[in-house]
Amino acid sequence: MRASPSATNSVSVKTERSEQLLERACRVIPGGVNSAVRAFGAVGGVPRFFERGSGARVRDADGNEYIDYVGSWGPLILGHANPDVLRAVQSAMERGTSFGAPTELEVAWAERVCDALPSVERVRMVSSGTEASMCALRVARAATGRDRVLKFDGCYHGHLDALLVGAGSGVATLGLPGSEGVPKAFTDQTVVAPFNDLAAVESAFSQWGNEIACVIVEPVAGNMGCIPPAEGFLAGLREICDRRGALLILDEVMTGFRVAYGGAQLLYGVEPDLTCLGKVVGGGLPAAAFGGRADLMDRVAPVGPVFQAGTLSGNPLAVAAGLETLTQLAKPGLYEGLETRARQLMAGFEAAAADCGVALCSAVVGGMFGFFFQAGPVRNFADAKQSDTALFARFFHAMLEGGVYLAPSAYEAGFVSTAHGEAEISATLEAARKALPEALKPR
């Protein structure tokens, strides 16, 4: 695909077709979208309906092309329509799309995941990250005989009732305290602490120590922007959990195979009891998983008494896409390459902001990045909320006009893929240098 309309066009890009589709969609789908944040609620304007993607680029229904930094919200680490992934899916598809019975391919997938993550001795596949964290909580509660769970403000673990408290992402940007329809009794057992704040965790444990089954955390927070763990934070959680007889669950749905081969647990050297996986491990198809120590995972049915099931769990197409993706990711130097690109991108954004005299602080971990319109430092959700989100919304739209698709919210991480090369990064930075002054114009 070729480059898109340039930011010098003062005329807005055409969105007629997306508008028509949205109108049609809204009649039959709530808000016209199948996941809330897709609706552009936080930035306004018309969500783009996509028609196709190839490598780092996507094309919308009006024929506009964009360099894509959403990557389907994380899974597409090899870019859109990666030929090897397509071949793997095609070959699996020809043999049947679903059996509801075990297959050799899912064993190979599980072996690869267990090899990559030393803390994961056994793994069970599910279809979404939400399911993964729901199941991990169930195992942790069963194993400890305790009910309470501790999560961090701004961390998102999917839309399961128990964890829709202080959840970032769509929930935070929509300004909802949680969600209606979640009985108070379901979240009474959920304790919320600020991210990167070990003292708050200690104090929660002093209050409810013998009742807390587990701490669940995104090792690099990616649903309130991109916020890396402070030095010692993850190790501190490990130590507190050990001392208090609680389990540590790393929700690596986003970070798994994204920040490093394996995930953040390898990058930061922390060993969780249980791990949630999703996004990249499904290679762009619906697959996710939870796994961990054998003695914990052997509590899951049919070996143990913790019930868990799924009609399409371990779906052969998703497993094929995931396995091919993981196989390609094992190449030496791949994550260094992703991180180099992400760093070039964020350094360029910081320079563009400095030229305009506007505060911008950024973070990069492997193939994951984020930036906030503020001086920082940003260590938790309360800090993140000090950002200029109105400026972000204007910048977002100016970037769209310049042919760059960022996540439509100031509180989302961005992603680079192996298909993002020098050309894409420099085109993006050129767009940013034009978009920022545009976004800062008084209106």
Ligand X SMILES: *Cc1c(COP(=O)(O)O)cnc(C)c1O
Residues interacting with ligand X, by CB under 6 A?
128-130, 133, 156-158, 218, 222-223, 251, 253-254, 278, 288
- 279 catalytic? Reply is yes
Residue 149 or 288: the one with the smaller Cβ distance to ligand X is 288
Residue 216 or 398: the one with the smaller Cβ distance to ligand X is 216
The distance of closest approach from Cβ of residue 163 to ligand X in the complex, given in angstroms and rounded to an integer, is 9
User: Which residues partner with 292 through β-bridges?
Assistant: 122, 274
Query: What distance in Å separates the CA atoms of residue 265 and residue 246, rounded to the nearest whole number?
Result: 18
Query: What distance in Å separates the CA atoms of residue 9 and residue 113, rounded to the nearest whole number?
Result: 47
Active-site residue (options: 66, 69, 156, 261): 156
Q: What angle do CA 400, 1, 415 make, to 5 degrees?
A: 55
The distance of closest approach from Cβ of residue 7 to ligand X in the complex, given in angstroms and rounded to an integer, is 30
Active-site residue (options: 268, 279, 383, 434): 279
Residue 128 or 428: the one with the smaller Cβ distance to ligand X is 128
Backbone angles phi, psi at 422, to 5 degrees: -50, -45
The distance of closest approach from Cβ of residue 130 to ligand X in the complex, given in angstroms and rounded to an integer, is 3
The distance of closest approach from Cβ of residue 234 to ligand X in the complex, given in angstroms and rounded to an integer, is 14
- 388 catalytic? Reply is no
Active-site residue (options: 251, 335, 383, 411): 251
Query: What distance in Å separates the CA atoms of residue 409 and residue 185, rounded to the nearest whole number?
Result: 31
Query: What distance in Å separates the CA atoms of residue 14 and residue 197, rounded to the nearest whole number?
Result: 46
Residue 157 or 394: the one with the smaller Cβ distance to ligand X is 157
Using CA atoms, how far residue 154 sits from 88, 218, 221, 417, in Å, is: 36, 10, 8, 25
Residue 413 or 439: the one with the smaller Cβ distance to ligand X is 413
Which residue from 290, 279, 291 is spatially nearest to 318, judged by alpha carbons? 279
CB-based contacts of 114, cutoff 8 Å, min separation 6:
120, 121, 122, 123, 291
Burial 364-386 (b: 16+ CB within 10 A, else e): bbbbbbbbbbbebebbbbebbbe
3-class SS of residue 393: helix
The distance of closest approach from Cβ of residue 45 to ligand X in the complex, given in angstroms and rounded to an integer, is 23
Closest residue by beta carbon to ligand X: 129
Q: Compute and round to an integer the Cα radius of gyration of the chain.
A: 21
The distance of closest approach from Cβ of residue 372 to ligand X in the complex, given in angstroms and rounded to an integer, is 18
Query: What distance in Å separates the CA atoms of residue 417 and residue 126, rounded to the nearest whole number?
Result: 24
Query: What distance in Å separates the CA atoms of residue 53 and residue 3, rounded to the nearest whole number?
Result: 13
Residue 234 or 427: the one with the smaller Cβ distance to ligand X is 234
Active site residues: 156, 251, 279
